Copies of this chain bind each other. A is one copy, B any other.
């Protein structure tokens, strides 16, 4: 595929994800961690405009100077950001204006790509594509949150039912020897800065489960009083459970004694065979405690993943999100991409049913605060 074809395919896919939405669904922001879909569509476009077209495409005329303020994210270098909570207050630019903005930038990008591009621009271009694919996952999980927290529980649609889950199979523990292992991205394709540098890590012997925890297994934890026994929880996890009256994973509803689960298809009886999703790190840790086991470190996971099946859930690890030895942040705004979040977050490994396929690589490091669970976050046990 040419660069232009890659660009078009990825850009179109973002819009394809939004096809089932009503205009109103593009606008709201029910919690601070969820962004309005139209913001995702605008922000990924702003990335190409700001980091490629403005500096490198001579004669390019910015679509609307105010959009920098509206669609900027954390990139403090580039100007004042919108306070994230405010995104859901902005009815304008309208959805159709955002699509016009996309069309304008896409036309310019395709024009720009008719000439050869430098290595520097190429790196930014690839980063922009990967950035948009990250936002495609967020689009899907944010849409699920917006619809799944509406009292009418509207369905997103059937054509994406491959998203709803996957069967969880029988379970056994795989053992690994102690020794020095190589960790981090090794290939010559694209990776994010936080996957580098590849380095050696010494691991103690460990074993890890061949399968993700299923809904059925997690239900045993609930039924055994897991949410009411502080012994299984971190002190902060216990506060989180009590302050928020948490009694089950996100999207689970107990109606007259039956467990229902909101999926992209609507509110339906809980599928017991599916891998568990939408739990926080606190819940993952408590579940492991209750089982007398623990969560794997990200290094154990990366070693084991060479032989495991994975890819339907982001899997919480015990590891905190920290720089690898030799981590270098790029100069300027692009350098803020990952490094500035390396405190108070946990690493998740794997990929989920809504992750872009080319983001499913063994060295990929996802990260969230330990209380978050609107992503397809699951549990794999170790010991």
Complexed CA–CA distance, A30 and B294 (Å): 38
Complexed CA–CA distance, A57 and B261 (Å): 38
Taking a contact as CB atoms under 8 Å apart, the answer to whether A23 and B94 are in contact is: yes
Interface centre among A23, A24, A25, A38 (most CB of B within 10 A): A24
Q: Taking the nearest CB of chain B, how far is it from the CB of A231, in angstroms? A: 7
Q: Find chain B residues with CB under 8 A from A200 CB.
A: 178, 202, 204
Complexed CA–CA distance, A69 and B180 (Å): 49
Stretch of A3-11, A168-176, A219-227, A314-322 with 4 or more beta carbons under 8 angstroms from chain B: A314-322
Q: Does A90 contact B (CB under 8 A)?
A: yes
Complexed CA–CA distance, A340 and B237 (Å): 9
When all copies of this chain in the complex are counted, the total is 4
Taking a contact as CB atoms under 8 Å apart, the answer to whether B90 and A89 are in contact is: no
Taking a contact as CB atoms under 8 Å apart, the answer to whether A344 and B344 are in contact is: yes
Contact of A91 (CB < 8 Å), options: B25, B233, B343, B346: B25
Complexed CA–CA distance, A270 and B199 (Å): 43
Taking a contact as CB atoms under 8 Å apart, the answer to whether A319 and B322 are in contact is: yes
Chain A interface main SS type: mixed
Asked, given contacts A152-B66, A322-B320, whether A22 binds B76 with beta carbons under 8 Å apart, the answer is no
Taking a contact as CB atoms under 8 Å apart, the answer to whether A28 and B88 are in contact is: yes
Interface centre among A26, A38, A91, A323 (most CB of B within 10 A): A91
Taking a contact as CB atoms under 8 Å apart, the answer to whether A91 and B146 are in contact is: yes
Taking a contact as CB atoms under 8 Å apart, the answer to whether B150 and A91 are in contact is: yes
Q: Does A59 contact B (CB under 8 A)?
A: no
Complexed CA–CA distance, A152 and B67 (Å): 9
Interface size of A as a range: 35 or more
Interface string of A265-296 (1 = CB under 8 A from B): 00000000000000001100100000000100
Complexed CA–CA distance, A180 and B146 (Å): 49
Q: Does A33 contact B (CB under 8 A)?
A: no
Complexed CA–CA distance, A178 and B162 (Å): 47
Interface residues of A in 301-356 (CB under 8 A from B): 318-320, 322-323, 325-326, 340-344, 346
Q: Does A15 contact B (CB under 8 A)?
A: no
Q: Taking the nearest CB of chain B, how far is it from the CB of A250, in angstroms? A: 15
Taking a contact as CB atoms under 8 Å apart, the answer to whether A94 and B28 are in contact is: no
Q: Find chain B residues with CB under 8 A from A180 CB.
A: 180, 202
Q: Find chain B residues with CB under 8 A from A70 CB.
A: 151-152
Taking a contact as CB atoms under 8 Å apart, the answer to whether B27 and A91 are in contact is: yes
Contact of A322 (CB < 8 Å), options: B74, B318, B344: B318
24 contacts across the A-B interface (CB closer than 8 A): A23-B94, A24-B26, A24-B27, A24-B38, A24-B91, A28-B90, A28-B91, A74-B235, A76-B230, A90-B150, A90-B151, A91-B146, A91-B150, A92-B147, A178-B200, A202-B202, A234-B340, A234-B343, A235-B340, A237-B343, A238-B340, A282-B343, A318-B322, A343-B370
Chain A interface residues toward B at CB < 8 A: 22-30, 38, 66, 69-70, 74, 76-77, 86, 88-95, 146-147, 149-152, 154, 178, 180, 199-202, 204, 230-231, 233-238, 281-282, 285, 294, 318-320, 322-323, 325-326, 340-344, 346, 370
New A-B contacts (17) at CB < 8 Å, excluding given A204-B326, A238-B340: A24-B38, A27-B27, A27-B28, A30-B89, A88-B88, A89-B146, A91-B150, A92-B147, A93-B152, A180-B180, A234-B342, A234-B343, A235-B341, A282-B343, A318-B322, A318-B323, A344-B344
Nearest 10 CB-CB pairings of A with B? A320-B320, A202-B202, A30-B89, A24-B91, A25-B91, A204-B325, A23-B23, A235-B340, A22-B94, A76-B230
